[in-house]
Chains A and B, each alone.
Chain A
Amino acid sequence: EPEVTQTPSHQVTQMGQEVILRCVPISNHLYFYWYRQILGQKVEFLVSFYNNEISEKSEIFDDQFSVERPDGSNFTLKIRSTKLEDSAMYFCASVYPSADTQYFGPGTRLTVL
């Protein structure tokens, strides 16, 4: 069964450093999402992406965040200058038509020191 993959599974970085989290969505899916979950809290929406542009973003998704689909298969989330409060599990999700089942990747656990 096709699945969403994410790399790396864990990333440790120093405050102020840039990180790029990578996702490979399911191949025929058209809508892509990033969510995050701070430890012990609920999953929060960050950004949605369709037709090579951001379709919606949350207030969390400020100028330090960006997304890209550079080559038709990867979907990346970049954090330009990480803060301590960016420490969280980051999930990528994809879906074929937008209101159908969203499939989640296994997540990247980001730790900012």
Chain B
Amino acid sequence: GIQVEQSPPDLILQEGANSTLRCNFSDSVNNLQWFHQNPWGQLINLFYIPSGTKQNGRLSATTVATERYSLLYISSSQTTDSGVYFCAAFWGKLQFGAGTQVVVTP
């Protein structure tokens, strides 16, 4: 099956800082999604991004399908951005990466 690797595993940011999270996947995929898992454990859809670039407020994502990676950018981070960020690649089902634990400090 598809292997999905995320980096870095942990990230500590000061409020206001920018950061980039990376997701590598081992094979061609039909779909790639980014999620934010909040402190209550809920998976919040951030982006559906099989290719190209999308922006939603302070978050943006880019997927380069031919090179099998996706990037999630967080700009001007806030404490509410804390949590675990997962990418997941679809080939019949979603295969999740291990996540990046983000802590934003005031």
Contact = CB atoms under 8 A, between A and B. Distances in A.
A53 interface: no
B43 interface: yes
B92 A102 contact: no
A106 B31 contact: no
A44 interface: yes
A44 B96 CA distance: 7
Given A42-B97, A42-B99, A45-B94, A101 B86 contact: no
B33 A56 contact: no
Contacts of A37: 41
B98 to A, nearest CB: 5
B94 A101 contact: no
B42 interface: yes
A107 B48 CA distance: 20
B95 interface: yes
A102 B30 CA distance: 12
Q: Would you call the interface of chain A mostly helix, strand, loop, or mixed?
A: strand
A38 to B, nearest CB: 12
Given A43-B88, A99-B30, A99-B31, A104 B95 contact: no
Contact of B41 (A33, A48, A99, A107): A107
Contacts of A91: 43
Contacts of A35: 94, 96
Given A98-B92, A101-B45, 8 more contacts: A42-B96, A43-B94, A48-B93, A89-B41, A93-B94, A101-B33, A102-B94, A107-B42
Ranked nearest first, the 9 interchain pairs of A and B with the lowest CB-CB distance are A99-B30, A101-B48, A43-B96, A45-B93, A104-B43, A99-B31, A42-B96, A42-B98, A106-B42
22 contacts: A35-B94, A41-B98, A42-B86, A42-B96, A42-B98, A42-B99, A43-B88, A44-B96, A45-B94, A48-B93, A56-B92, A98-B92, A101-B48, A102-B90, A102-B94, A104-B42, A104-B43, A106-B40, A106-B41, A106-B42, A107-B41, A109-B41
